[in-house]
Amino acid sequence: MPSLLSSNFFLTTHLHKHPHFSLNFSGFYPTSYHPPRTSISCSAHSSKCSLSFLAPLEAILFDIDGTICDSDPLHYYAFRDMLQEVGFNGGVPITEEFFIETISGKHNVNLATILFPDWEPQRSQKILEDKEAYFRRLASEQLQPMNGLHKLCKWVEEQGLRRAAVTSAPRSNVELLIPMLGLLDFFETIVIGSDCERVKPFPDPYLKALQALKVSHKHTFVFEDSVSGIKAGVAAGMPVVGLAKRNPEKLLAAAGASFVIDDFDDPKLWGVLEELQRKPEVTTAT
């Protein structure tokens, strides 16, 4: 089977139709990963959560890791084990706080210089490739969708909205995660960060998604879970809804999130979507 995300496919066509993959979770999903949490609230700049200024809403853009799937615990354990194995930090395992503040949401190109500034590029690249392979082994058995994901996807489809995934993840990870989540027929376009001139937190990946969908940033918003991703969406001129399932709300709000939700079941999100749906201007993009 040819790669679903091959270069001649990337951004130039819509996703081909494939049978949905059923979700089949096995093994023990880590429950000990509990980063610091704070209360969920709207942006400090607004007492009311609203995206009504986007009407007519045309599209929604989704990050992948930590946004449509609860993958951060798996990334944390993979990084923790691999970094300990190579003697990072004197062999002391990294903490969840270190993962959130230093690693989460960043592209491996940037992580190579952050984690291994004195290493030869080939050596650091190999370590990060090994880490991603380790993550895929964990994800193949333990990946879980973000709570409320399929309810949200159904709403998006019913509204006739355009949609794209925009990720810093390696292509091989995306080729595993999207089918596992049953979303091969959902996304029209998938933007891989490494195929852009600059990765998140620069706006390039999100700008490329807007271009591919032929929609305006004035009628589109973003779902993101990381500081770098939120900064990228804001830099592309769009409001960003932050997901604080694993990352502290204060970090996401400080990065520019319009408001922060726990997951896609959050009543706050559905209040905002219902307000958009009531707007007579909310039409569909075909």
Average confidence (pLDDT) over 242-250: 94
Kind plus residue range of the DSSP H or E element containing 26: none
pLDDT digits 0-9 by tens, 58-90:
999 999 999 999 999 999 999 999 999 999 999
pLDDT digits 0-9 by tens, 142-153:
999 999 999 999
Q: What is the pLDDT of residue 48?
A: 73
Cα distance between residue 225 and residue 212, in whole Å: 23
Q: What is the pLDDT of residue 280?
A: 56
Of 143, 171, 162, the residue nearest 62 (C-alpha) = 162
Q: Which of 26-40, 130-144, 226-240 is predicted with the least confidence, judged by mean pLDDT?
A: 26-40
Q: Tokens in use for 117?
A: 């500034």
pLDDT digits 0-9 by tens, 23-62:
232 333 344 444 443 333 454 344 479 999 999 999 999 9
The pLDDT-based confidence of 278 (bands split at 50, 70, 90) is confident
Q: Which of 17-26, 126-135, 216-225, 232-241 is predicted with the least confidence, judged by mean pLDDT?
A: 17-26
Cα distance between residue 146 and residue 180, in whole Å: 13
Active site (catalytic) residues: 63, 65
Angle at 44 between CA 39 and CA 50, to 5 degrees: 95
Q: Tokens in use for 233?
A: 């969406």
Cα distance between residue 75 and residue 135, in whole Å: 6
pLDDT digits 0-9 by tens, 148-192:
999 999 999 999 999 999 999 999 999 999 999 999 999 999 999
Model pTM score: 0.82
pLDDT digits 0-9 by tens, 80-116:
999 999 999 999 999 999 999 999 999 999 999 999 9
Q: What is the pLDDT of residue 282?
A: 45
Query: 191, 236 in Cβ contact below 8 A?
Result: no
Query: 45, 221 in Cβ contact below 8 A?
Result: no
Q: Is the pLDDT of residue 240 over 50?
A: yes
The pLDDT-based confidence of 281 (bands split at 50, 70, 90) is low
